[in-house]
Amino acid sequence: MTTQRSIRLRLRISALSISLAIAATACGGDSADSSDSTAPPAAGSAAEVYSFNCARCHGAQLEGGFGPALDAGSRVGDLEDTEVIEIVTDGRNTMPGWGDKLSPEQITDLVAFVRESASGG
């Protein structure tokens, strides 16, 4: 009974990560109308890990929500890589830690993904 819902959800999530991947690749460009592009889904990519684990608090386009914005112009651009890795691994205040759910490689990739988004503008 939940199968149909989760398929729909997975479809939405992969559509989302495709557009995130495009936004991340089109670093600095105007990524406004990437809607009818047909890039292949990047399975297991940082964008996908992001949409699965982080988007609900930091926004589908990293625009922020419950958590702070991580996109261009946000504070994360001023933090050191090691600091960001530490926040994502161990958590901070109401931000949960991901050290026991994601591998160090996934976290490093995520930080690079966030970093690219934060500097892309």
Q: Where do contacts with ligand HEC occur on this chain (CB under 6 A)?
A: 53-54, 56-58, 66-68, 70, 75-76, 84, 87-88, 92-96, 98, 110, 114
**Judged by CB, which is closer to ligand HEC: 33, or 80?**
80
Three-class SS state of 95: strand
**Judged by CB, which is closer to ligand HEC: 60, or 88?**
88
Whole-angstrom CA distances from 107 to 3, 101, 111 are 29, 10, 6
Could you tell me which of 57, 60, 66, 78 has the C-alpha nearest to residue 24?
60
Q: How far is the CB of 93 from ligand HEC (least distance, A)?
A: 3
**Judged by CB, which is closer to ligand HEC: 30, or 115?**
115
Buried b (16+ CB within 10 A) or exposed e, 28-57: eeebeebeeeeeeebeebbbbbbbebbbee
Q: How far is the CB of 120 from ligand HEC (least distance, A)?
A: 15
**Judged by CB, which is closer to ligand HEC: 3, or 93?**
93
